[in-house]
Amino acid sequence: MSLPASDALPYRILGPTEPAPPLVLASPHSGREYPGAFLAQSRLSLGQLRRAEDAYVDELLGDAVRHGVPLIAARYGRAYLDLNRDADEIDPAMIADPLPPSAGQASDRVAAGLGVVPRIAAHGLDIYASRLRLTEVESRVGALHRPYHAGVGMLVERARRRHGYAILLDCHSMPTPPGGAAAPQFVIGDLHGRTAAPALVDAIETTIAAAGFRVSRNAPYAGGYTTFHHADRARGVHVVQIEVDRALYMDPARLATHGGFAAVAAAFAGLVATLLAATPGLALAPGWREAAE
């Protein structure tokens, strides 16, 4: 089981992959490459399109990678293709052709214009002046979506085979949630307990809170396609989505990092270090039982 060279794929892998650690990091929304044909097709400027990104999340994880875990990070911008959607979440309102029965999944995300190929960018701005051909959507899915999730799956499976369990942290940034001074700064999503062992989620929450940040679970974000698709607790695969308020480390209006970047990067690095030390005792492998005293 080997990964192709990442320079030939729509993602980058940073950090070591051998020997496989039990923890994998993912950043599906920090890509900032946009094909020229797409830019010519879009009604929006590059700056407007980039506001859909979880900008710099891959760079936030740089210190965490130095603890010996791999990071798989998307290359292409979220406005071009959203890797945290099902490949069949296609918005019929933006496609010129009839959709096959497998496509056009009805979901709140699709209805909002945020399917696998988004119809809108940040601030609800329409990306396209005209409808797309279905073949174009299928081409993007085949070129980006399938290889990315195959890469995630391969890293996770490599970890599971070596350790008997694997942890995937799917990392994102979010707009500042409502709530003022009480608003969460990090949101941990495990699809309401379905995708990760409670002891693991407890450890993540405790570690982030100890770093001085306000943390909530599953509100306002419980997890997306990556969380659902890759989790398999029966086989020892645990997936947690982590959202961080992007205002903590960047100016969203200028797409520029600021002085808070170091503290957030340190929080992620501290989380990874804590999990690597703690998870052998968290009973994450299927059938694990603590020895009797």
Render pLDDT for 151-189 as a digit per residue (tens, 0 to 9): 999 999 999 999 999 999 999 999 999 999 999 999 999
Report which of residues 290 and 260 the model is more confident about: 260
Give the pLDDT score at 9.
Answer: 87
CA distance 115 to 113: 6
| Residue % of the chain over a pLDDT of 70 | 95
Q: Which helix (H) or strand (E) holds 142?
A: none
User: Strands 215-217 and 166-174, how do they pair?
Assistant: unpaired
Q: Which CATH number fits domain 6-81+133-281: 3.40.50.2300, 3.40.50.300, 3.40.630.40, 3.40.1280.30?
A: 3.40.630.40
Q: 109-113, 210-214, 232-236, 284-288: which has the minimum mean pLDDT?
A: 284-288
For the record, the structure tokens of 92 come out as 């019929």
State phi, psi for 156 to the nearest 5 degrees: -65, -45
Report which of residues 74 and 107 the model is more confident about: 74
* pLDDT tens per residue, range 12-59: 999 998 899 999 999 999 999 999 999 999 999 999 999 999 999 999
Q: Nearest to residue 90, comparing CAs of 51, 151, 132?
A: 132
* 271 HSE (CA, 13 A, CB side): 33
CA distance 151 to 129: 33
Q: pLDDT tier at 288 (50, 70, 90 boundaries)?
A: low
pLDDT value at 68 more than 80: yes
The 3-state DSSP class for residue 20 equals coil
Conformational region of residue 56, where left means phi above 0, alpha means psi within -120 to 50, and beta covers everything else: left
Q: Is the pTM of this model over 0.85?
A: yes
Q: pLDDT tier at 226 (50, 70, 90 boundaries)?
A: very high
Domain ranges of the chain: 6-81+133-281
